[in-house]
Structure 1
Amino acid sequence: MFEKYLISEKTFHNVESTGEIIGYNVGLRIPYYRGITLSCVNEINLTINGVSISHDDMTVMVETGSFPYRELSTVINNRWEMTEEAVIFVNAPGGLEAKEHIIEAFVSLRISYQPHPNTGADKKIVKLGTTRKVDKEVIQNDRNY
């Protein structure tokens, strides 16, 4: 239903910490009409310029915290709300080149009253925004990036 809005064009930028580019952020909107707890996220897959991003390199950030992708199934007290972007930090030293990139995203959600997963997929060409400077701890503990 909300697939065409899945990838945010405004939240796509390299992330710098202590003078080095440590990775980049991709903003995603939930492909559902309500918010859900992060433990109900079945899958988030990202592809940048045809290269699949490893889940081991992803950290999912929502208003209430940031979590390594592999821990999402255990996060029962934090939600991805309908009106917020979840920001996926991708650990990629050196980041991405300052140009347009092809982003593909797929999100699968487990909804308690549906017999099948709710999914959304989107593909966009997005220009990399201005690099954001953060403390490395911010990526792990807070959302103010």
Structure 2
Amino acid sequence: MLERTHIQSSGFRNTGEPGAYDGFQVRLRQPNYRGTRLSLLAGIDITVDGETYRSVDNRFVVGGREYTHAELLAATEDRWEVGTYMTVLIKRPEGLQAGVHDVSSEIAFRHPYFPPQFQPTFVRDNRKITIII
């Protein structure tokens, strides 16, 4: 079951093998009131303890499929539905230290009804929570 907050503490953990972590992951709940085409996600930046991990360097898992940032922008038929989550995979040698971390996300959505030449980008959601890994 998804938690009420946008950033899901249940999905925050190191990735890779213990002792040889290669990064960490953050699970996000769809913050919009309806589903979104993945191509409308201009970017998802994650900040942990003041260090920002940019969307172009991360990978994203939605509905069991993994995407790069460029693949998200090209995924015009794939969607991130309400009531589902996205896992953001972040490469970081040795992962994160065990303990409490401040985590925030910035998600930039494109407007679905504007022609491409008039397409502004804006930050739809910027939230911060403290969770334990």
TM tier, smaller? 0.7 to 0.9
Q: What are the Cα deviations for residues 76-123 of structure 1, in whole angstroms up to 9, with x where unaligned?
A: 222111111100000112100010101011112123247864701100
Residue in 2 aligned with 1:75? 75
Whether the 8 Å contact between 1:26 and 1:88 is mirrored in structure 2 is yes
- Does the C-alpha gap of structure 1 residues 92 and 32 become closer, same or farther in structure 2, counting only changes over 3 Å? same
- Does the C-alpha gap of structure 1 residues 101 and 18 become closer, same or farther in structure 2, counting only changes over 3 Å? closer
Residue in 2 aligned with 1:50? 50
For 1:94 and 1:77, locate their aligned partners in 2 and report how far apart those are by CA, in whole Å. Answer: 35
- Does the C-alpha gap of structure 1 residues 33 and 24 become closer, same or farther in structure 2, counting only changes over 3 Å? same
Whether the 8 Å contact between 2:106 and 2:127 is mirrored in structure 1 is yes
Residue in 2 aligned with 1:133? none
- Name stretches of at least 5 consecutive residues in structure 1 with no aligned partner: 129-145
Whether the 8 Å contact between 1:64 and 1:79 is mirrored in structure 2 is no
Residue in 2 aligned with 1:139? none
Residue in 1 aligned with 2:126? 121
Percent identity between the two aligned chains: 26
SS of match in other structure, 2:72: helix
Q: Which moved more, 1:112-121 or 1:18-27?
A: 112-121
Residue in 1 aligned with 2:112? 112
RCO higher in 1 or 2 (8 Å CA, sep ≥ 6)? 1
Cα RMSD, aligned residues only: 2.2
* Normalised TM-score (structure 1): 0.76
* Normalised TM-score (structure 2): 0.83
Whether the 8 Å contact between 1:16 and 1:23 is mirrored in structure 2 is yes
Q: Which runs of 4+ in 1 moved over 4 A?
A: 114-118
